[in-house]
Chain A
């Protein structure tokens, strides 16, 4: 870990984006993509999502990695970030704007980051945030199956994580890898997606049929399918309620790249 970071820092110092990119690309795992039955049908009714092959960061971004980013991009320090990009709790668990401290261990996932900050970090790795479809597709996997969602035990595991009190300290990243070699999609932190502001679900499901034509151009709010996949629907509800400046104690992120 330390060596990888050192390499990345060296790359940055030498001004060599290639070297920095190489350091980061080992952290990205290829996923094949294809047609995927999302809880959010692409047309608002039944159409599956279609995903191009992409690469996903195998782990959420850690405090140590985000600290290195903040040091090389000081405009993202908590004492310098413009209010229009992050709320007042941004990185408030760190001991100082450029120091982690006891409440933010190096291998814990970074949290209290806004969508703007997460996107900026990903750009520094020549990447972007994953789309919701990419994230949901990746998170449907377990150790042996690319899509484990029909297994009640899988759903139970995700839901039992939600039930864990969120005031406990976060475990470090490094959960068991899934079939794609990706870790911690479920069970560690909630994660930002690039199109968090594309999840136009109504708070009240009864409103979804009568398309609110003045609010939504086109087909109206999308309806959520697969009601039995409650764990995923909860995540959609959470993401759709966020503003891009919001930062919370259990919301982190990882990055993705096109193949």
Chain B
């Protein structure tokens, strides 16, 4: 405990210093979107600042491409050597059906390690804005499914896009190299 206190103090100070420095103009965290995760916790998208992230969009009832998106994120992390400071975020296109429960069940079914994984949802308007920010296209179909483009984005600790890949179903060597570089710092 005695040893923990100074550590906590340092962490607190670091946190304060971090929050105080202005976001870069090209940081995606400029967009104020609330994200609710698989545990029901809501925090702003910008609260993810401080750690490199792989970000993508998916929805839980998609059986074709979305499991591949999640698997590709997993495989990319493995290929990059499981860096401890790399977080993974997948946001749902389908806030209507993907409630906290659906996200939690999906995380369990796909054995996602919640130490670094976050499955999240936000409101319909914010979902569209987040997709616009990430350069992802999606369209709801009358049967409730979605057409959507698939992309993985690598954000640096300040939320700037440093790499992007549309390769799904296998790891993209260039993207993996970018992950290694971003997490080595």
Contacts and interface: CB of A to CB of B under 8 A. Distances in A.
Contacts of A43: 141-143
Contacts of A215: 149-150, 166
B161 to A, nearest CB: 9
B81 to A, nearest CB: 26
A243 interface: yes
A251 B31 CA distance: 23
Given A218-B146, A219-B145, A244-B133, A213 B65 contact: yes
Interface in A179-223: 194-200, 213-222
Given A213-B65, A217-B64, A197 B128 contact: yes
A66 interface: no
The main secondary structure of chain A at its interface with chain B is loop
Contacts of A119: 129
Contact of B132 (A115, A218, A221, A222): A115
Contacts of A197: 128, 131-132, 136-138
A85 interface: yes
B26 A218 contact: no
B169 interface: yes
Interface in B35-66: 62, 64-66
A218 B142 contact: no
B141 A216 contact: no
Interface in B1-45: 23, 25-28, 30-31
Contacts of B129: 116, 119
B175 to A, nearest CB: 15
Contacts of B28: 84
Given A197-B131, A216-B148, A84 B26 contact: yes
Interface string B159-178: 00000001011000000000
Contacts of A84: 25-28, 30-31, 133
B125 interface: yes
Contacts of B166: 215
Nearest to B160: A84
Instruction: Using C-beta atoms within 8 Å of the partner chain, give the interface range for chain B.
Output: 35 or more
Nearest to B169: A214
Contacts of A240: 137
Contact of B147 (A194, A196, A200): A200
Contacts of B64: 213, 217-218
Interface residues of A, number: 32
Contacts of A7: none
Nearest to A47: B142
B65 A217 contact: yes
Contacts of B78: none
A214 B150 contact: yes
A82 interface: yes
A44 interface: yes
Interface in A112-136: 115-116, 119, 128
Contacts of B23: 82
B138 A198 contact: yes
Contacts of A128: 125
Nearest to B59: A217
B149 A200 contact: yes
A243 B137 CA distance: 10
A42 interface: yes
Nearest to B22: A82
A83 interface: yes
Interface in A142-168: none
6 contacts: A43-B143, A82-B26, A200-B147, A213-B64, A217-B65, A219-B145
Given A200-B139, A216-B147, A217-B147, 7 more contacts: A42-B141, A43-B143, A82-B23, A84-B25, A197-B131, A200-B148, A244-B133
Interface of A: 42-44, 47, 82-85, 115-116, 119, 128, 194-200, 213-222, 240, 243-244
Listed from nearest, the 3 A-B pairs whose CB atoms lie closest are A244-B132, A217-B65, A198-B139
